[in-house]
Amino acid sequence: MSEVRDAISKAKRVVVKVGSSSLTTAGDGLDTARLNALVDAVAGRVGRGCQVVLVSSGAIGAGLAPLSLDGRPRDLATQQAAASVGQLALAHAYAASFARYDLTVGQVLLTSNDVVRRAHYRNAERTFARLLALDAVPVVNENDTVATEEIRFGDNDRLAALVAHLVQADALILLSDVDALYDGDPRAGGTRKIGEVAGESDLDGLKVGMSSSGLGTGGMMSKVAAARTAASSGIPALIAAAAEAADALGEAEVGTVFRPAGKRLSARRFWLGYAAGTQGRLYLDDGAVAAVVRRRRSLLAAGIVGVDGDFDAGDVVDLVDPAQRVVARGVVAYDVGELPDMIGRSTHELPDDHRREVVHADDLVPLGRG
């Protein structure tokens, strides 16, 4: 067993995410047998002394059959209506299934604001901590009934990665209808299964696609992104098939594992790098990229070549390299209107009240590029 798989199998707190296509079918809605099999695996892991947070898609899919809908609706209002009906059915099904093991579940519905806004993030952190202390199994989903853009473009894979850090999980397990990451489309044949991703170079040239089930909004692309987010913040991740949930939650000798890079980020730095909403962009020259990303220095006005967005001092902005890649995020110290007269100028050339860092190193998180 590899070191990463051993760490996942022995983790004391795990976030497990399951997709819509693993719990529902277009014609029949919620598949109770599949849900019960998942709960069997989760309960088995809990029985071995592990705390599990379950991030579950499926609310919209579970609402299709009761509303006599043939497939996932395209318009937002009908998606929200299906989520309203389906979320109740999904919560009831989980409560009944976990009750077979005398386990209590607590439903946690989140929107992007709950992880993007710092105060909400901390409130969610306290709620999860109390649920776990009371030996409940939190079942998490996006609040699709009131969400707007989240339904149209979002997925629960990213949410699961954010929750994994929020609850200080020791591992993230992403379950889907595909058994692992491949170097191409496994349906086409002639592809190679990738057992472990040790770093970014292992993903170079891979072709991964979006969901083709018609029920989910994610796919392998979003799972890889979520696994990378977790691994980048120090949390090992596993992508595996939902049908192999018992093995994934057992010895973890299935699927694809992502090796964690470095030590775990603090809650604030993780929020800053991966959860916070950004209000603009600062474009950097090569020297500034090297200083910010490799030497972990503050960003000075001299290294900025351009500004975009509508932000105030204290907002979070992306830092972009000459190749248009986001290489870091940080809290900007100036309003957008103050920066055009500052960019490209050395500190000694600026007025005394504008000689502070544009983004201080303590408020900056490199994202591993550049």
Binding-site residue ranges for substrate: 57, 144, 156
* Neighbour count for residue 336 (Cβ, 10 Å): 19
How would you class 148 by CB atoms within 10 Å of its CB: exposed for 0-12, middle for 13-18, buried for 19 or more?
middle
* Neighbour count for residue 361 (Cβ, 10 Å): 16
How would you class 205 by CB atoms within 10 Å of its CB: exposed for 0-12, middle for 13-18, buried for 19 or more?
exposed
Place of tokens 């992880």: 115
Alpha-carbon gap, residue 124 to 110, rounded angstroms: 9
Annotated binding site for ATP: 17, 176-177, 217-223
CB 66 within 8 A of CB 85: yes
CB 55 within 8 A of CB 159: yes
Annotated binding site: 17, 57, 144, 156, 176-177, 217-223
Alpha-carbon gap, residue 185 to 209, rounded angstroms: 8
Give the pairing of strands 196-197 and 237-241.
unpaired
The 8-class DSSP code of residue 353 comes to: G
CB 80 within 8 A of CB 41: no
Nearest-CA neighbor of 275 among 303, 233, 314? 233
